[in-house]
Structure 1
Amino acid sequence: MQLHVIARGKIGRSPEGEMVERYGKRIAWGFKVTELPDRGGQMPPPASGPVRTVALDERGRQLTSTEFARILERWRDDGVREARFLIGAADGHDEALRDSADLLIAFGAMTWPHMLARAMLAEQLWRATSIVAGHPYHREG
């Protein structure tokens, strides 16, 4: 399954960008990042086959890393070809996008910088795929 981060804004050459790249290289499932302008721009076409959409949103569910891993594992096992992770601009996502998402997730009640949220997401995607693979990186409890 392809893990596709679609984010508003340009991360450029930055410590956060380096973290996204570092974790992305570790993900064995396939990892891709698409950047869109803060406003407008066309969403890339989905992969052929089933696609799931996850929006990072302050109203989203707060999942443990293991719960997140199990969701991704179930989607993979169900034949989902692409899981899209949407990170909005400063004003977040509009209601229509939130309503159409398969899952809304939040990284807690605090507000996080969008560039840091990308790095956090990349790490959680790597952590989730590591959990599914039985890798000892994740320590729960």
Structure 2
Amino acid sequence: MLLHIVARGKIGRSPEAELTDRYLKRINWKTRVTELPDTGGNLPARDGAKTIVLDERGKAMRSADFAKLLGRWRDEGVRETQFLIGAADGHSEELTREADLLFSFGPATWPHMLCRAMLAEQLFRAVAILSGHPYHREGRTGG
């Protein structure tokens, strides 16, 4: 399955871009990043793709549950999942209504450039969980 991040705004050369790239390169599934202007521009075609819209009003999920969702969609034959990150003003109501999932990193508002890095890390973590890689350490306590 293709994991496709569709983000408003240009990230350029920045610490957030480096961190995003670092995680995306570690994912053994196909990945793509599409940047759109802050306003306007056309979203990529969503023919058969699942869409997850990042929104502070969305559902906060444990990493293991997020991984299960992606694994289920992969197993059902979904070819692409698009992760939509908005600009400062968020997404249109129409887009949020049409999404397969509104996904949240919590009730706080996060800078959209930082959301890319956070999403890339969660995608890497989800793929690691699904492959049995030891990166994810849920339930373990430090000592």
Report deviation, 1:92: 0.4
TM-score with structure 2 setting the length: 0.95
Matched, 1:73 2:64: no
Aligned residues: 139
Secondary structure of residue in 1 paired with 2:10 = coil
Q: Provide the secondary structure at the position in 1 that maps to 2:43.
A: coil
The correspondence of residues 1-141 of structure 1 with structure 2, limited to 5 A, is 1-46=1-46, 50-141=48-139
2:87 and 2:114 mapped to 1: Cα distance? 13
> Unpaired runs of 5+ in structure 1?
none
Considering only aligned residues, what root-mean-square deviation do their CA atoms show, in Å? 0.8
Q: CA offset at residue 45 of structure 1?
A: 2.4
**Following TM superposition, where does structure 1 have runs of at least 4 consecutive aligned residues deviating by more than 2 angstroms?**
none
Unaligned residue ranges in structure 2 (runs of 5+) = none
How far apart, CA to CA, are the structure 1 residues paired with 2:24 and 2:129?
A: 16
Between the aligned partners of 1:88 and 1:129, the Cα distance in structure 2 is: 24
TM-score by length of 1: 0.96
Q: Percent identity?
A: 64
